[in-house]
């Protein structure tokens, strides 16, 4: 299904960037060649004109505010919404902040954010994925490696996590995303029925961005180790980061691995259409002490054939709904009955 969309490039602030949805028509924003995610939107940029077509506002089904929402341009955003609403056209607003921004509850606006809270979600708010490169294409030669079912599930994690001696101190001081992550890893390590494959780092991106400089060689090495950890594991611990969402969740699915997802009041892409619990081990934050039991029960409930099929299923799910082209291929489903 192809949708006619309108936007106005003149509303982008000086030095600003346009939103990903418009890449097929205005080209990609400049990328840092040292960024490991460079190129993640190449395929969508090539095929997106089959999904959307630019049109004058009077002929458009949707109006796309051209850049990501910021508080300092709130008046421009509302003016854009009002102009489109005068002819009955709905406006799309994309938010890239780690925070859940309360943009607008205007009936004629639909907001897409990576970070949302289910308990405070408005009717016009939907989740969008946090996009990384396609790990299979970029690192695995285009071939999805699968595992046979092992007696003990191997649960992986590679990344920033508080050291054990820091965890109790942080828990006493205040809860945070790192304490959720640290508690999950600690409980899993204690479970005798699980084999853990953890690489714990004390610095974000293994220190590759320390001091405000990017060490490209270190970044590439850390990236390879990160992907290797996912691929060598059967299951991967996925918890929120600074925002209430997880890049690792989507990256794990990209690799055909099964996420162990800790739900911290999250909103996930296409949660109105698909059952996310079919694609991961789902653990409520309050049930973290039982995370090991949840993984083991899930693993033991799968036959050998089902275990292999689930890996392929996770990869297909990422391709069909989470990858940039998959997400935008199904984009019209957000507006069933409204367009």
* Of the ranges 93-97, 206-210, 299-303, the best mean pLDDT one: 299-303
Q: How far apart are CA 129 and CA 327, in angstroms?
A: 8
Digit-coded pLDDT (tens) for 92-123: 999 988 888 899 999 999 999 999 999 999 99
Q: How far apart are CA 187 and CA 193, in angstroms?
A: 12
pLDDT at 175 over 80: no
Mean pLDDT of the chain: 91
**pLDDT for res 209:** 58
* Band (170; pLDDT cuts 50, 70, 90): very low
pLDDT at 205 over 90: no
Burial-class residue 319 by CB neighbours within 10 Å (0-12, 13-18, 19+). Answer: middle
Long-range pairs, 170-178, Cβ under 8 A, ≥24: 177/239, 177/240, 177/241, 177/242, 177/264
Write down the pTM of the prediction.
0.92
**pLDDT for res 220:** 81
Q: Give the list of residues 6+ apart from residue 25 with CB closer than 8 angstroms, or none.
A: 48, 49, 52, 54
Contact 60, 339 (CB under 8 A): no
User: Beta strand pairing status for 195-201 and 154-160?
Assistant: parallel
Q: Give the list of residues 6+ apart from residue 257 with CB closer than 8 angstroms, or none.
A: 156, 230, 231, 233, 234, 235, 236, 311, 314
Digit-coded pLDDT (tens) for 116-143: 999 999 999 999 999 999 999 999 999 9
Give 96-115 as a 3 state SS string. CCCCCCCCCCCCCEEEEECC
DSSP percent split of the chain into helix, strand, coil, nearest 5: 45, 15, 40
Digit-coded pLDDT (tens) for 288-299: 999 999 999 999
pLDDT at 149 over 50: yes
Angle at 116 between CA 112 and CA 120, to 5 degrees: 115
Strand blocks (E) in 130-172: 154-160
**pLDDT for res 213:** 64
**pLDDT for res 174:** 44
Q: Please tell me the least confidently modeled range out of 35-44, 79-88, 250-259, 316-325.
A: 35-44
Q: Which residue has the tokens 């002490």?
A: 289
Strand blocks (E) in 202-279: 235-238, 258-263
pLDDT at 59 over 90: yes
Structurally, at CATH architecture level, domain 135-322 sits in 3-Layer(aba) Sandwich (3.40)
Q: Which two tokens stand for residue 61?
A: 């089904």
In the chain, pLDDT over 90 holds for what percent of residues? 81
**pLDDT for res 184:** 96
Average confidence (pLDDT) over 2-27:
97
pLDDT at 306 over 80: yes
**pLDDT for res 236:** 98
pLDDT at 13 over 70: yes
Contact 188, 161 (CB under 8 A): no
Contact 203, 210 (CB under 8 A): yes
Contact 103, 77 (CB under 8 A): yes
Q: How far apart are CA 27 and CA 308, in angstroms?
A: 39
Find, among 297, 260, 265, the residue nearest to 281 by Cα: 260
């Amino acid at each position: 299904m192809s949708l006619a969309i309108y936007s106005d490039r003149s509303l982008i602030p000086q030095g600003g960037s346009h939103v990903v949805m418009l890449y097929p028509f205005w080209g990609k924003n400049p990328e840092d060649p040292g960024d490991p995610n460079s190129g993640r939107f190449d395929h969508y940029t090539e095929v997106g004109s089959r999904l959307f077509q630019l049109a004058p506002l009077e002929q458009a089904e949707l109006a796309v505010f051209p850049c990501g929402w910021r508080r300092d341009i709130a008046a421009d955003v509302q003016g854009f919404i009002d102009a489109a609403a005068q002819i009955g056209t709905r406006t799309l607003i994309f938010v890239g902040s780690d925070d859940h921004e309360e943009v607008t509850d205007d009936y004629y606006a639909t907001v897409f954010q990576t970070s949302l809270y289910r308990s405070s979600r408005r009717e016009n708010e939907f989740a969008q994925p946090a996009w990384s490169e396609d790990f299979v294409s970029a690192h695995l030669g285009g071939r999805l490696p699968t595992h046979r079912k092992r007696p003990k599930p191997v649960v992986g994690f590679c990344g920033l996590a508080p050291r054990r001696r820091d965890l109790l101190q942080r828990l006493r001081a205040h809860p945070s995303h790192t304490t959720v992550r640290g508690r999950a890893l600690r409980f899993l390590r204690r479970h005798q029925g699980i084999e853990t494959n953890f690489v714990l780092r004390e610095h974000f991106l293994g220190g590759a961005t320390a001091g405000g400089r990017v060490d490209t060689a270190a970044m590439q090495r850390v990236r390879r180790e990160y992907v290797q950890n996912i691929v060598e594991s059967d299951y991967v611990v996925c918890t929120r980061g600074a925002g209430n969402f997880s890049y690792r969740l989507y990256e794990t699915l990209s690799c055909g691995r099964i996420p162990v997802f800790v739900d911290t009041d999250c909103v996930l892409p296409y949660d109105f259409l698909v059952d996310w619990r079919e694609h991961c081990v789902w653990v409520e934050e309050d049930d973290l002490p039982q995370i090991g039991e949840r993984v083991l029960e899930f693993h033991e409930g799968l036959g050998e054939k089902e275990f292999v099929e689930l890996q392929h299923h996770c990869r297909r799910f990422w391709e069909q709904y989470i990858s940039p082209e998959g997400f935008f291929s199904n984009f019209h489903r957000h507006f069933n009955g409204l367009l």
